Amino acid sequence: MIETLFGQIDRFIKDNKESKKPAIVAIVGPTASGKTALSLEVAKRFNGEVISVDSRQVYKYMDIGTNKIHSSQMKGIKHHLIDVVDPSEEFTLSHYQRLATRAINDIHRRQKLPILCGGTGLYFNTILENYNVPKVAPNYELRHQLARYYEQYGQEALHDLLKKKDPVAAEKIHPNNVRYVIRALEINEVSKENKHDTRGEPDFATFIVGIDWPREVLYDRINQRVDELMEYGLLNEVKTLLMRGYKDNLPALSSIGYYELIQFIKGELSYEEAVEKIKQNTRNYCKRQLTWFRRYDTINWVNGKALKDFLQSKK
């Protein structure tokens, strides 16, 4: 089954060698589905380099909680868009689109295969569907007002504001992602239009692979991964970020894992409650990822168990 997949990728690459649109492979799926392991195998077989499609792995010093691949695990394969900004810096969809497109073009110039790998659906869309991302200049006074509103009333109240102004954007953006909520409100207020990223003509020919697991098995994998992240030192990583002077209300620290452990550090949750909330919030995020990727009608789905067995047999 998996060898059949590699055969399909090989034919796709050969068929597009003479195409005006350069070829890329995209590996999508929910958290803990096995995307990283598959991306390494594809890169090894087809002379590729991996571009992370993860809205949190772009941040420096956030390694354990974002489950970044370590350099020792990369098997000599170059990775892009990991550790590109400081946690205190703004990083928008348009930033990602620009950097990812630059990386894709650079990889092609060196006659290698770009492999997009990750679980942030909106980041995938901006590349695969060539989104025309709204270029609305920052309105810092408005941002400060919205930040104060968030500090006073909380993330749910802030998200409710977005629901009233732009329900479509609110459906896509989780309340925890305060930065994106504020940005969507900013676009709505400044442009007097909702945050709709229009699609253009795709720049690349894309072969998309999705990894599929039964829901209950995937949830077990998520729970196990969270336990492993805690054993690897996620709590110490969060404490270190705070000791470095990063504010606990930074958008980067609203990420699942960091947000709940900050609540524990502040005495708002017990340790056990924080860990359980990380698991629950990750499972909920997984549901949203599955809903997002199920909308793609061109995904070549592979069985997660078959993929796991295949990769283990190669070790």
Domain with CATH 1.10.287.890 in the chain: 217-285
CA 75 – CA 213 distance, rounded (Å): 26
What's the pLDDT at 258? 97
Residue positions counted in the chain: 315
One-letter-per-residue 3-state SS of 72-106: HHCCCCCEECCCCECCCCCCCHHHHHHHHHHHHHH
What's the pLDDT at 244? 97
Q: At what angle do helices 140-153 and 178-191 cross, to 10 degrees?
A: 130
Strand partners, 47: none
What's the pLDDT at 40? 97
CATH of domain 2-133+200-215+298-313: 3.40.50.300
What's the pLDDT at 167? 87
Tokens of 173: 């953006």
pLDDT per residue rounded down to tens, the chain (315 residues): 789 999 999 999 998 887 778 899 999 999 999 999 999 999 999 999 999 999 999 999 999 999 999 999 999 999 999 999 999 998 888 899 999 999 999 999 999 999 999 999 989 989 988 766 656 666 778 887 888 788 788 889 999 999 998 888 888 787 877 877 888 888 888 766 655 555 667 889 999 999 999 999 999 999 999 999 999 999 999 999 999 999 998 889 989 999 999 999 999 999 999 999 999 999 999 998 998 898 888 999 999 999 999 988 877
Domain with CATH 3.40.50.300 in the chain: 2-133+200-215+298-313
Give, rounded to a whole angstrom, the gap between the first and last alpha carbons of the chain: 18
Q: Report which of 217, 269, 267, 259 is spatially closest to residue 234, judged by C-alpha positions.
A: 259
Radius of gyration of the chain (CA): 20
Strand partners, 85: 59
Domain with CATH 1.10.20.140 in the chain: 140-191
* pTM for this prediction: 0.82
* Residues 119 and 29 sit within 8 Å (Cβ to Cβ): yes
**CATH class of the 140-191 domain in this structure:** mainly alpha
Of the candidate CATH numbers 2.60.40.1180, 1.10.287.890, 2.60.40.1080, 3.40.50.10420, the domain formed by 217-285 belongs to 1.10.287.890
H/E element, 268: none
H/E element, 194: none
Tokens of 306: 């078959």
Helix boundaries (H) for the chain = 2-15, 35-46, 93-109, 121-128, 140-153, 155-165, 167-172, 178-191, 215-232, 234-243, 258-265, 271-294, 304-313
What's the pLDDT at 175? 83
What's the pLDDT at 54? 96
**48: phi then psi, degrees, rounded to nearest 5:** -115, 170
What's the pLDDT at 198? 57
What's the pLDDT at 192? 65
